[in-house]
Amino acid sequence: MSAQPQPRLTPEQYLELDRGSELRNDYYRGTMYPTGRPIVHQIGAISHAMVISNLIFAIRRADSTNSLVSSATAGVRVPTEGVSVHPDIVVVCGEPQYADNRKDTLANPILVAEVLSPSTEAYDRGFKSVQHRTLESLQEYVLVSQNEPRVEVFYRQPAGNWLLTESAGLDASCTLESLACTLRLQDIYSQVAFAPEEAAPFSE
């Protein structure tokens, strides 16, 4: 017995269904295809994706160590807590170590970066931050604002405490000690449009 054909969706119907879904879906010629990837529902989703893309490119261009730089498709395993999370950006220097043979979950990141959005900021600053900082390999935890040009870098000190350095404004730069490189905020926020009230404090 053949399956009943699914009704074709208009682009508008697809958008309505996709925005109400917990998973990202693709659309092709009237059919919606679940991809299995989580989606962040937010007004600034495009800006969020652009900041991630810009930051990955800036790190790869400035890093002289030829590190592995990955987006959220790679998970991170925190063995001491039995937790696996998906940071926006993961950096590994040297040979990557994985949680298992599937090789989709890293166990030895040197740097983790999260792009903050209204729906995830509390989670990224709270639970995720605590979990990431229990990793022995982690040297730097980076929080990047989506709504304004601002980067917070938490760097692990020899005694085990974490030093915070903040950079704000498109003319500023931030230094990633673990990669021995400096990034310009104007590169991280290239082509990202801020709302007037968000850009005003840093406008000329």
What are the residue ranges spanned by the domains of the chain?
A: 1-39, 45-202
Q: Residue 5's pLDDT is what?
A: 46
Q: Residue 25's pLDDT is what?
A: 62
Q: Residue 8's pLDDT is what?
A: 82
Read off the tokens for 10: 């208009």
Q: Residue 127's pLDDT is what?
A: 83
Per-residue pLDDT of the chain (204 residues; tens, 9 = 90+): 334 445 788 776 766 776 676 665 667 778 777 655 455 444 467 888 899 999 999 999 998 777 899 886 677 877 765 566 778 899 999 999 987 787 878 889 999 999 998 877 888 899 888 888 889 999 999 999 999 999 999 999 999 999 999 999 999 999 999 999 999 999 999 999 886 654 444 444
Q: Residue 64's pLDDT is what?
A: 75
Q: How far from chain centre, in Å, is Cα 65?
A: 21
Domain 45-202, what fold?
Answer: tt1808, chain A (3.90.1570)
Q: Are 141 and 91 in contact (CB under 8 A)?
A: no
Please give the Cα distance from 146 to 52 (Å, whole number).
9
Q: Residue 196's pLDDT is what?
A: 62
Q: Residue 137's pLDDT is what?
A: 94
Q: Are 185 and 167 in contact (CB under 8 A)?
A: yes
* Beta strand extents in 4-116 (DSSP E only): 23-28, 31-38, 68-71, 75-78, 83-85, 89-92, 105-106, 111-116
Helix (H, G, I), strand (E, B) or coil at 190: coil
- DSSP category for residue 201: G
Confidence (pTM): 0.76
Helix (H, G, I), strand (E, B) or coil at 146: coil
Q: Are 179 and 69 in contact (CB under 8 A)?
A: no
